[in-house]
Structure 1
Amino acid sequence: MRRDLNLYWWGQTTSAFGSVFTAVALPVVAIVQLGASPGQMGLITAASTVPGMVLGLPAGALADRIRHPRRALLTLDTFSALGVGAVALGLADHIVSVGWLIGLGVLQGLLSILIGCLYFVHLRQLVDADGIGPVRARLQAGQYGAALLGRILAGPVIVAFGSQAALAIDAASYLLSATALLSMRSSDLTAPTPGRDSTGTFHGAASGLRFFAGHPFHRALLVFLVVPVAAMTGLATLTGPFLLRVIHLPTGYYGLAFVLSGVTGLAGSAAAARVLGPRSDPRRVTILAFTGGIACCLLLPLAGGPLPLAVACAALGIGLPIFFGAIANVAVSSVFATDVAEGEMGRITAALQVITATAAMLGSLAGGALGDQLGIRPALWALCAAALTAAALAGPHALRSARALRQSEASGVADLPTPTETAV
């Protein structure tokens, strides 16, 4: 298992490294080469969320029924490589349009919803529930470290060889990830469970949503899953135009504005491993970390003045939310490992992705629309203010619910839905 965990780490880390090249290249292609407006940028960003909204719930139920999740992940990595590689060839032939970028977003959204569901299903095969937190922190640290290196290299690669070279690197990274999965030796055959065998793929799709309506804490948690995603996606939609058009950052240095987020992601992953000790409450950590990330977003619209100062402030506004988000991601993984039955992990993960995909689509469209109507900097302020207001209103109730659940667990009568209560 240790060898397979190492291979899983290498595969995920390599894939994260390549994905950064596409993430940096696409805004440059859209804004610089194609002249995309903020509204069009919103459509490009929203495109990746549509498949999750439409197919997320049945995808999660399907993931719970797949008997060989590693084989499915390998297949999905291969299709991802083909999709990104096709756009790279289109860029080389100068035939790519905004429609191409929207189509790539739809394809990546479809594949990512399936990969996201199977990620935790397969991880649970490699490590027990008590070890999820440390292993998730290690995987996340590798991904942030790879992203850091990718952001340093992406700009120079784009300037020297073109955006098509950046996408070609991403396609190659998917193939390397597939190779790592193929090299694993342990069996990926899932054991039959009542949740997996008794629930039809589409008939049981909605059970994941009911999980978030069961306990008061899970209902409160929804706010802190939806609001940061919507806000961060709206901000991300406007970050490219803000850096390139408002701050006037040269294209060759565009990727460097995101380098700090790799450092803060690594730091957040390391901090999560320490914060989430045996006596800590991952539920409270999740709420507090999400709140901290939202507050730090204010630094992005504050960026101004001389170019070095403006870029430094913008980098902090991009990087510090990543620090708190890294802690929150590990913490919420521990919450799900504790609160979700193993046979329902795919459905719960899919429900989470559907919810966040909906929030991301609304956030990206709102960011684009606000950018067109108010201007880029005022739109950033509006998104930050809305997110902070929602967190301030929901935070106290979420923390009280987490404390009550922790106390009930300590007394041995945790008020959580049982697997039969969440199944259809």
Structure 2
Amino acid sequence: MARDLRLYWWGQTASTVGSLFTAIALPVVAVVHLDASPGQISLISAASTLPALLFGLPAGVLADRIARPRRALVLLDALSALAIAVVAAGVAAGLVSIPWLIALALVSGSVSVVTEVVYFLHLNQVVESGELTRARARLQSGQLGAGLVGRLVAGPAIVAFGTATALAIDAVSYLLSAAALLAMRPVPPLDRTPAGGPSSFLRDALAGGRILFDNRFYRALLILLAVPVVAGAGTGALGGIYLLHTLHVPTGVYGLVGMATGLLGLLGSTLAGRILAPHRDARRIIVLCYVATSCFALLYPAAGGPLPLAMVVAGLGMGIPSLFGAVANIALSPVLVAETSEEALGRVSATLHVYSGGLGLLGALAGGLLGDLLGIRPAIWTLSAADVLAVLLTAPLALRAIRDAPFRPEPDAGPAEPAAVGAQ
């Protein structure tokens, strides 16, 4: 299994590098080449979250009925490669427009919905019992390290070779990810019950919501995350305009602002393996990390002054929250596995994505509206301040739910193998 995890690591890492090229290239296309307004930018961002709202619950049911998750991931990688290659060709031909970018966001968001709910099912097939947290930390460390490489080279590559080349690199990276999945050893299919009729499908689709509602910590977590998800989506939607126009960051070094995100996120992934010891309650760590993430995000709208200083402060405003977010993301894995049966894991994950997707859609549209009404920086300040206030008010609720519920640590399978050095 160690060989398969290394292959999975390489495939995910390659895909992450490519995704960073697209993440940096698309704002350049929208803001610099197409002169998109905050409202148009928010529509592109909203399009990427809309599929989670529309298809999340059906995707969860399908995931819990998929006997071979790896095959599904290969098909999803191929679809992503095709969609990005089409847009790259449109950019090269000078045909691309805002609707093209919205369409790509819709396709990418739809693929992401299914990928996220299938991810844990496949990872559980690859790793041994009790090794999920360590494996998740290794994969996330690789993805964040790859993000550093992507941010370092994407900006200069866009300046030298153009945005179409950057998008083409991402398309190739998805093919490399699919190749890594195909090279892994076969695993037995999951034992799935036969699919029922439409009524059974609807009942299964709503099961994830019932599980979340019946679990006191899950209920508190949903309340805690409500405003932060909205604020994060709104801030993210305005990020390209904020950096390129408000702070006047040159296109060639635009990606470097996010270097702190990769560096500190990588540090967070490394620390997570130590912090998330078997005797520690991962739920408490999740709550504390979300509080820290919201508070340190206030650095982002505070960026200003000389360009180097502004880039550093903006980078820290993204990077320090990334550190705590990386720990929280890894901590969520054992919580989901401990609090949810394997048969319902896909549906619970999908319901969480639907919830986040709905809030993200609202946040993206709110960010565009606030940007048009207040201006870019005041809009980000408003979203960030609301985030901090909401988290400080709701975190005690989540901590109280944790105190009143028993702690169930991830089962330990014995001594761990040495971790190899180095999400999509």
Distance 1:318 1:92 in 2: 31
1:55 counterpart residue number: 55
Mapped pair 1:24 → 2:49: no
Does the aligned pair in 1 maintain the 2:66–2:192 contact within 8 Å?
no
2:271 counterpart residue number: 271
How do residues 86-97 of structure 1 correspond to structure 2 at under 5 angstroms?
86-97=86-97
Distance 2:142 2:119 in 1: 15
Q: Which runs of 5+ in 1 are unaligned?
A: 411-424
Mapped pair 1:206 → 2:187: no
Query: What secondary structure, in the 3-state scheme, does the structure 2 residue paired with 1:343 have?
Result: helix
Distance 2:95 2:27 in 1: 17
The CA deviation at 1:300 is 0.7
2:283 counterpart residue number: 283
Q: Which runs of 5+ in 2 are unaligned?
A: 410-424
2:355 counterpart residue number: 355
2:84 counterpart residue number: 84
2:10 counterpart residue number: 10
Mapped pair 1:226 → 2:209: no
1:320 counterpart residue number: 320
1:391 counterpart residue number: 391
Distance 2:223 2:115 in 1: 24
Single out whichever of 59-68 and 220-229 deviates more from structure 2: 220-229
2:414 counterpart residue number: none
Distance 2:196 2:128 in 1: 21
Mapped pair 1:175 → 2:175: yes
Q: Label 1:389 to 1:366 Cα distance change in 2 as closer, same or farther (>3 A).
A: same
Query: What secondary structure, in the 3-state scheme, does the structure 2 residue paired with 1:49 have?
Result: helix
Query: What secondary structure, in the 3-state scheme, does the structure 2 residue paired with 1:357 have?
Result: helix
Query: What secondary structure, in the 3-state scheme, does the structure 2 residue paired with 1:369 have?
Result: helix
Does the aligned pair in 1 maintain the 2:65–2:193 contact within 8 Å?
no
1:101 counterpart residue number: 101
Distance 2:142 2:403 in 1: 32
2:34 counterpart residue number: 34
Cα deviation digits, residues 54-74 of structure 1 (max 9, x gap): 111011100110111111110
Distance 2:161 2:241 in 1: 23
Distance 2:170 2:212 in 1: 35
What is the TM-score of this pair, normalised by structure 1? Answer: 0.93
2:240 counterpart residue number: 240
Single out whichever of 210-219 and 322-331 deviates more from structure 2: 210-219
The CA deviation at 1:186 is 2.9
Does the aligned pair in 2 maintain the 1:61–1:200 contact within 8 Å?
no
The CA deviation at 1:247 is 1.0
Cα deviation digits, residues 106-155 of structure 1 (max 9, x gap): 00011111111111111111225522111111110000000110000100
Distance 1:233 1:144 in 2: 20
1:137 counterpart residue number: 137
Distance 1:304 1:89 in 2: 37
Q: Label 1:374 to 1:188 Cα distance change in 2 as closer, same or farther (>3 A).
A: farther
Cα deviation digits, residues 78-109 of structure 1 (max 9, x gap): 01000000000000000000000000000001
Cα deviation digits, residues 348-406 of structure 1 (max 9, x gap): 11101111111111111111110110011111110011111111111111011112213
Distance 2:227 2:127 in 1: 31
Distance 1:146 1:206 in 2: 37
Distance 1:359 1:127 in 2: 32
Cα deviation digits, residues 331-356 of structure 1 (max 9, x gap): 11111011010011111111011111
Distance 1:231 1:294 in 2: 9
The CA deviation at 1:202 is 3.6
Mapped pair 1:298 → 2:265: no
2:124 counterpart residue number: 124
How do residues 337-352 of structure 1 correspond to structure 2 at under 5 angstroms?
337-352=337-352
Cα deviation digits, residues 195-217 of structure 1 (max 9, x gap): x8899434310111112211221
Query: What secondary structure, in the 3-state scheme, does the structure 2 residue paired with 1:388 have?
Result: helix
Mapped pair 1:253 → 2:253: yes
Distance 1:311 1:250 in 2: 11
Q: Label 1:384 to 1:146 Cα distance change in 2 as closer, same or farther (>3 A).
A: same
Distance 1:325 1:292 in 2: 9
Cα deviation digits, residues 232-252 of structure 1 (max 9, x gap): 211111121111111111111
2:112 counterpart residue number: 112
Distance 1:99 1:197 in 2: 38
Does the aligned pair in 2 maintain the 1:61–1:201 contact within 8 Å?
yes
How high is the sequence identity, in percent, across the aligned residues?
51
Distance 2:86 2:317 in 1: 34
Does the aligned pair in 2 maintain the 1:69–1:188 contact within 8 Å?
no
Q: Label 1:200 to 1:17 Cα distance change in 2 as closer, same or farther (>3 A).
A: farther
Distance 1:129 1:368 in 2: 45
Distance 2:398 2:121 in 1: 27
Which one-letter code corresponds to 1:282 in the other structure? A
The CA deviation at 1:270 is 0.7
Mapped pair 1:335 → 2:335: yes
Does the aligned pair in 2 maintain the 1:158–1:166 contact within 8 Å?
yes
Cα deviation digits, residues 218-240 of structure 1 (max 9, x gap): 10111334333222211111121
Cα deviation digits, residues 25-64 of structure 1 (max 9, x gap): 0001000000001111100001011111011101110011
Cα deviation digits, residues 303-357 of structure 1 (max 9, x gap): 0111111111001011111111101100111110110100111111110111111
Does the aligned pair in 2 maintain the 1:129–1:337 contact within 8 Å?
no
How many residue pairs get aligned? The number is: 408
Does the aligned pair in 1 maintain the 2:64–2:192 contact within 8 Å?
no
Distance 1:164 1:355 in 2: 34
Which one-letter code corresponds to 1:374 in the other structure? L
Mapped pair 1:308 → 2:308: yes
Distance 2:347 2:112 in 1: 15
Q: Label 1:131 to 1:367 Cα distance change in 2 as closer, same or farther (>3 A).
A: same
Query: What secondary structure, in the 3-state scheme, does the structure 2 residue paired with 1:406 have?
Result: coil
Which one-letter code corresponds to 2:326 in the other structure? A
Single out whichever of 199-208 and 1-10 deviates more from structure 2: 199-208
Query: What secondary structure, in the 3-state scheme, does the structure 2 residue paired with 1:94 have?
Result: coil
Does the aligned pair in 2 maintain the 1:282–1:332 contact within 8 Å?
yes
The CA deviation at 1:193 is 6.3
Which one-letter code corresponds to 1:183 in the other structure? A
1:416 counterpart residue number: none
